Amino acid sequence: MLDNDYGTLQNLTVTILIEDYSGYDEGLLAQHGISFLLEAETVKGSKTILFDAGQLAEPILHNMKMLGKDPATIDLVVLSHCHSDHTGGLVGLLEAIGRKRVPVIAHPSICRTNFVLKPAFKSFGMGPASSAALIENAGGEMILVAEPLALAPGIVTTGEITDKIDFEANPTLSMFTLEKGKMVADFMPDDLSLVLVLDEGLVIITGCSHAGVISIIETAVRMTGVERVAAVIGGFHLIDADDARIEATVKKLADYDIGRIYTGHCTGLKAEARLQQVFGKKFKKTHTGITIKF
């Protein structure tokens, strides 16, 4: 077995439990944030993963009920990064899962302070509502790892994205953290994605892609040795990117023979419009309740 042989999944269903858009007249709720449910069939049995936890549990639990998804089936949780629109619902969702020692996989720096100064100071990090103590009290077991972590045959996290393509060296959003009381730029080292290896290619699930969606895809391809990208699903955080960065990103995405792109959340309407123009039917704007099958 090669070091980079992560195995292959039999099949995968991705359900968007919450997103910034609700879709139309379906009775499903929206919130600024992301939470996806991944139901995978592996050679070692089924695996159900909660990827991100939105900012509030209640609307996610409402949507799960309407979508016929039972929180008790969730085997483990993966957090893409510290921002509260991806982590705020975690404690409530762990309570709904209702078990002890539910693995919560994230980067070691996820609990750090993270904030913006423009247009005004705002704390973006996990904060007291998702403290390590509350997570553990609710049944979570924090597994904090910067390296890629294989979760099951065909399922692996990217870990920290250390190799970045030139135009993605800095996050599009200017953020800060604290080191011994001093403010320093926060390059979002905790931004990680999930890679699922299927016969039809890679399915890459991102939170906000603060590490840069192209750098994430290149990392996933390099890690697995699989060049075909079946789909990228998640936020691309181009909402505050300039035109040059949007164009460079769209051009690079077009270089990959990506089967499907599902994005929304922090991608921004401008970048979404360009993706729609370039990818046509391969592009789909995400909203709550979408089910994507592989």
Query: Where do contacts with Fe ion occur on this chain (CB under 5 A)?
Result: 83, 85, 208, 266
Smaller CB separation from Fe ion, 266 or 275: 266
Instruction: Give 191-213 as a DSSP string.
Output: ---EEEEETTEEEEE-SS-TT-H
Give CA–CA dist 8/31, Å, rounded. 33
Q: Which residue is nearest to Fe ion (CB)?
A: 208
Smaller CB separation from Fe ion, 15 or 209: 209
Q: How far is CA 183 from CA 112, 176, 210, 211, in A?
A: 12, 6, 19, 20
**Minimum distance between the CB of residue 123 and Fe ion, rounded to whole angstroms?**
13
Peptide bond preceding 119: is omega within 30 degrees of 0, i.e. cis? Answer: yes
Alpha carbon 118 to chain centroid, angstroms: 24
**Minimum distance between the CB of residue 208 and Fe ion, rounded to whole angstroms?**
3
Q: CB-based burial of residue 144 (10 Å sphere; 0-12 exposed, 13-18 middle, 19+ buried)?
A: middle
Smaller CB separation from Fe ion, 135 or 208: 208
Instruction: Give 23-92 as a DSSP string.
Output: -SSSS----SS-EEEEEEEETTEEEEEEE---S-HHHHHHHHHHHT--GGG--EEE---S-HHHHTTHHH
Residue 36: CB atoms within 10 Å: 27
Smaller CB separation from Fe ion, 154 or 235: 235
Smaller CB separation from Fe ion, 9 or 205: 205
**Minimum distance between the CB of residue 132 and Fe ion, rounded to whole angstroms?**
20
**Minimum distance between the CB of residue 101 and Fe ion, rounded to whole angstroms?**
27
Retrieve residue 59's tokens.
Answer: 């609307």
Radius of gyration of the chain (CA): 18
Smaller CB separation from Fe ion, 151 or 208: 208
**Minimum distance between the CB of residue 273 and Fe ion, rounded to whole angstroms?**
20
**Minimum distance between the CB of residue 110 and Fe ion, rounded to whole angstroms?**
12
Smaller CB separation from Fe ion, 141 or 187: 187
**Minimum distance between the CB of residue 20 and Fe ion, rounded to whole angstroms?**
9
Retrieve residue 58's tokens.
Answer: 């209640």
Give CA–CA dist 93/74, Å, rounded. 10
